[in-house]
Amino acid sequence: KQEVTQIPAALSVPEGENLVLNCSFTDSAIYNLQWFRQDPGKGLTSLLLIQSSQREQTSGRLNASLDKSSGRSTLYIAASQPGDSATYLCAVRPAAGNKLTFGGGTRVLVKP
Amino acid sequence: AAGVIQSPRHLIKEKRETATLKCYPIPRHDTVYWYQQGPGQDPQFLISFYEKMQSDKGSIPDRFSAQQFSDYHSELNMSSLELGDSALYFCASSLDPGLAGGPDTQYFGPGTRLTVL
């Protein structure tokens, strides 16, 4: 059974610092990995999707890497802003089937 | 750009009542997923449909059922509601996940917040 873990559970940084969010998964037989942002009580906004054959994806200030063999992904957010404050979740889709298994999320606070 | 639409956004029910949640996927998306997110928890997969057929099943209680219609919208029917069913229910949609090499990003709706009293 796939297990997804995100460490740390919470992170507080001053504005302008780079954020590094970690995601690990136990079963490397994945089809892709997706990073989401969730504001309190709100829906999930897809940030980046990395296919299993890819090593990284970039979108603006966001960069996500994937090391499938070691079961790890990292989301980097450059030059953090107070508006980046949210919970960030990673989710993996297995090689067989299409359900996403989510990590517990990292709650980020960027202080002005 | 059009997003996933869910209705209602909020729903309050009594124990043992029934509830129906609706999901309208992004136009041309043929796959729909349902997830349940309890308070302080991560989303848990319930069920998915592709071309009106159930494609995958997760931890969905027997009291719940779902279907996808010919216009690709989906409904999640919940009966004999329990207090523990109080949660945020998300619907997501994507293009055919079997499309080799194609992107299959799951786009989530805003969710329906169900409160069972």
- The confidence band for A43, taking pLDDT boundaries of 50, 70 and 90, is confident
Residues of chain A contacting B48 with CB distance shorter than 8 Å: 98-99
Q: Could you report the per-residue pLDDT of B20-73, keeping only the tens digit for each?
A: 999 999 998 889 999 999 988 999 999 999 889 998 899 899 999 999 999 999
A36 lies within 8 A of chain B by CB? yes
Rounded to whole angstroms, the Cα distance separating A25 from B78 reads 32
Is residue A86 predicted with pLDDT exceeding 50?
yes
pLDDT of residue A45: 92
Give chain A's mean pLDDT. 94
Give chain B's mean pLDDT. 91
Gap between the terminal Cα atoms of chain A: 41
pLDDT of residue B100: 45
Report which residue type is found at B109. G
Rounded to whole angstroms, the Cα distance separating B58 from A50 reads 23
- Does A105 contact B106 at a Cβ distance shorter than 8 Å? no
Residues of chain B contacting A41 with CB distance shorter than 8 Å: 88, 113
- Does A49 contact B111 at a Cβ distance shorter than 8 Å? no
Q: Could you report the per-residue pLDDT of A46-79, keeping only the tens digit for each?
A: 999 999 999 999 999 999 999 999 999 999 999 9
Is residue B6 predicted with pLDDT exceeding 90?
yes
Is residue B97 predicted with pLDDT exceeding 60?
no
Q: Which member of A44, A104, A105 has the closest CB to residue B90?
A: A44
Q: Which member of A34, A42, A43 has the closest CB to residue B105?
A: A34
How many interchain CB pairs under 8 A, A with B? 60
pLDDT of residue B1: 67
Q: How far is CA A50 from the centre of its chain?
A: 10
Q: How far is CA A96 from the centre of its chain?
A: 21
Rounded to whole angstroms, the Cα distance separating B9 from A41 reads 11
The Cα-based distances of A24 to B36, B53, B99 in angstroms read 22, 32, 26
- Does B48 contact A98 at a Cβ distance shorter than 8 Å? yes
Q: pLDDT over 70 for what percent of chain B?
A: 92
- Does A101 contact B45 at a Cβ distance shorter than 8 Å? yes
Closest chain B residue to the Cα of A99, Cα to Cα: B45
- The confidence band for B101, taking pLDDT boundaries of 50, 70 and 90, is very low
